[in-house]
Amino acid sequence: MTATVELLTCFIAMGLLALSYFSHHRAVRNRPLTDAQARGFRTAGTATLVLCYWLASRHYGPAYASVLLLGWVCLSSIILVILLSYKPRWLQPILPASTVVCLLGLLY
Amino acid sequence: MKDSFFRSMTWLHTWVGLLTCWVLFLVFFAGTAAYYRAEINLWMQPENHGSQYDANADNQQLILKGLTSLAQQAPDAESWWIYLPTQRVPLLTYAWSDPAAEGQRFGDYHQGFINPTTGEALPKARESRGGDFLYRLHFDLYYMSVLTARWIVGFCTMFMLVAIISGIVIHKRIFKDFFSFRPGKGPRSWLDAHVASSVLALPFHLMITYTGLVTLMFMYMPWGLNTQYGDETQAFYSQWKPIYQTPAATGTPATMLDSQSLLSAIHSVVGESPIEGLQFDNLNDSNASVTVKIAPEHNLNQQAPWYHLSTVTGTVLAQSAVTSGANQTQSAMIALHSGRFAGQGLRLLYLLAGLTGCVMIASGAIMWAEKLAQKQLKKDKNHSGLTLVNMLNLATFAGLPIALACYFYANRLLPVTFVDRENWEIHCFFISWALVALLACFKRDKQTWQRLFLLTALLYGLLPLLNAMTSQYQLINNLQRQAYVLAGFDLMMLALAALFYMAAKRLRSPKKVLATRVTKATTELGVES
């Protein structure tokens, strides 16, 4: 369960970073991206990535967590690339749903 | 040199990548498969499929069983080994080596397996190199001297490092294009696939290439060592990685402690630390000893502790000490390269990153060929280099997956008593690869790629069925009894089959795709004549 929550956190982080780019944001949300929004997505994405590393470090130790995080970034990005290329709109419900699952996982 | 730094780097990236990409693909492909070396070994010996890992098993009892089997089967051996079962190798392995004959450095090595749950000895497994072949292939190649192969692999790895660094330099929009892939746009899509597969796993590609060179650094750059130590290189290794030298046999016969007393002595030294294996040396001699190796934890430093005990008195003769920082760094680099420390989840990510590396190499080479083909169309000129590249692309990128599938088929279809069967399994790998290469000499069009991918999908898709027919345990059965190593292998083969099927489907010629769409549309509208 812990690993799933950590992987989902990484996926959310990379999803937020993807949304900070104009072309991806337009494809997902069908509306333009303001500079403030882009900064917000970037900050939120970076913070979530740091949170993911912190969670993994607590579980596996910092060295193992570093390698694991790079693997998760790779996996999350591959999923995002596929989604953004073929079904970009799907990301709109997937990201909030992942956040809910992640929060539930963290709470219980 | 070109007229600008950027163009020089582009030229460098293209040519160092292209010249070595086929060897690098083989190295990446075999190396990626070798992350599951132990699992492949188990799958390729169906005689051992009944064995299952039990986390609550009594290790003391298992060691006793191993000792009993060794005492019965090899009382006069020179050394004994016992390896306890793990999740990846759910077998109790016992092994021994005969005393070396005159003129030989080592005696013959034998091994047997015990099912840890039932305690029964397993029947002699078929001869197969299993995953070990793929592991060796990725740096020793085959049909050539090990030294030559390692120089070739090292040379190509160095080229790859240059290609990666120059690739980073020439890729200006590395973050902006991070998630970009534009499908169905010809060379543009190939470029996107190449960039995405390179960038998404960039830290892995850099790490694996650099640490790959580190593993054989003293072979590639021996000059510092030679200057300082001359011909006495062994002295350097003794200083760098001090290993406890087992004292030589005295020739005075002595009786080993009974198994229970020996186990108590070991337990009092190692406590509750999980034992990975035991090595017994100088059996029946007054200098008889056992080395107890503790299982390494899931951390980057793979230097697990060990203890050396006398099997005559039960006293501790030596134990591991903290090694130097340089030694630990090198050990961590090798662990990073081999993924030895990785648990199941991280191992899967290593596999994914390895496959991404394969896509990176293949897409780069195909993109080069596509671009050149477009230039040729404009100039109406034939380029022999393009024919060669297309041939090598098809032979390597489509041929290697087929060869691997044929290796698995050979494992199950060659008779168990077949003479030299373990080598013939490997010959089957190369014969099937050679056949694809032969086909590539005559046909290299899109349809050939599509048909070969379909064949690959079929071969991988039918592997679980072949397993069900040639082993007592099939996929459903393995899932039910929680034999996840075997079930995971079959599921992985099905996933690969799906991947190749999708690739084949995407390679359908545009005319056929269009025809299918028109038929579908007309059927939906009810205007079919």
pLDDT digits (tens, 9 = 90+) for B234-281: 888 877 776 667 778 888 888 889 989 999 999 999 988 899 999 999
Q: Residue B529: its pLDDT value, please?
A: 34
Q: How far is B34 from chain A (nearest CA, A)?
A: 18
Among B65-69, B117-121, B128-132, name the one with the lowest average pLDDT.
Answer: B117-121
Contact criterion met (CB below 8 Å) for B121 and B98:
no
Contact A84 B182 (CB under 8 A): no
pLDDT digits (tens, 9 = 90+) for B76-107: 898 999 999 999 999 999 999 998 888 887 88
Mean pLDDT (whole number) for A24-46: 94
Torsions phi, psi of B87, nearest 5? -60, -40
pLDDT digits (tens, 9 = 90+) for B133-183: 999 999 999 999 999 999 999 999 999 999 999 999 998 777 777 888 888
End-to-end, the C-alpha distance of chain B in Å comes to 64
Q: Residue B520: its pLDDT value, please?
A: 60
DSSP codes, B431-475: HHHHHHHHHHHH--SHHHHHHHHHHHHHHHHHHHHHHHHHSS--H
Residues in chain A with CB shorter than 8 Å from the CB of B349 are 68, 71-72, 74-75
Q: Is the pLDDT at B527 greater than 60, yes or no?
A: no
Distance separating alpha carbons of residues B206 and B495, to the nearest angstrom = 27
DSSP codes, B322-357: PPPHHHHHHHHHHHHHHTTT--HHHHHHHHHHHHHH
Confidence of residue A13 (pLDDT cuts 50, 70, 90): very high
Q: Residue B366: its pLDDT value, please?
A: 94
Contact A75 B352 (CB under 8 A): yes
Q: Is the pLDDT at B333 greater than 90, yes or no?
A: yes
ipTM exceeding 0.90?
yes
Please name the amino acid found at residue B329: T
Distance separating alpha carbons of residues B322 and B242, to the nearest angstrom = 10
Q: Is the pLDDT at B33 greater than 90, yes or no?
A: yes
Residue of A nearest to B201 (CA): A74
Confidence of residue A62 (pLDDT cuts 50, 70, 90): very high
- Number of CB atoms found within 10 A of residue B378's CB: 7
- Within chain A, where are the H helices? 2-19, 22-29, 35-60, 62-86, 91-107
Residue of A nearest to B352 (CA): A75
B155 contacts chain A (CB < 8 A): no
Distance separating alpha carbons of residues B90 and A42, to the nearest angstrom = 46
Q: How far is A107 from chain B (nearest CA, A)?
A: 23
% of residues, chain B, pLDDT over 90 = 66
B335 contacts chain A (CB < 8 A): no
Q: Residue A27: its pLDDT value, please?
A: 93
pLDDT digits (tens, 9 = 90+) for B346-385: 999 999 999 999 999 999 999 999 888 888 887 777 778 8
Q: Is the pLDDT at B211 greater than 90, yes or no?
A: yes
How many residue pairs from chains A and B have C-beta atoms closer than 8 A? 63
Contact A85 B203 (CB under 8 A): no
Average model confidence (pLDDT) for chain A?
93
Partners of residue B285 on adjacent β-strands: B253
Distance separating alpha carbons of residues B44 and B471, to the nearest angstrom = 10
Mean pLDDT (whole number) for A71-87: 94
Confidence of residue B528 (pLDDT cuts 50, 70, 90): very low
Q: How far is B250 from chain A (nearest CA, A)?
A: 45
Q: How far is B183 from chain A (nearest CA, A)?
A: 7
Question: Best-predicted range by mean pLDDT among A63-67, B332-336, B462-466?
Answer: B462-466
Q: Residue B519: its pLDDT value, please?
A: 63
- Within B171-306, where are the H helices? 187-200, 202-215, 217-220, 223-229, 233-240, 259-270
Burial of B102 per CB tally in 10 Å (0-12, 13-18, 19+): exposed
B353 contacts chain A (CB < 8 A): yes
Mean pLDDT (whole number) for B53-71: 90
Distance separating alpha carbons of residues B63 and B114, to the nearest angstrom = 11
Residues in chain A with CB shorter than 8 Å from the CB of B204 are 70-71, 74
HSE on the CB side for B214, CA within 13 Å? Answer: 18
Contact A75 B349 (CB under 8 A): yes
Q: Is the pLDDT at B110 greater than 60, yes or no?
A: yes
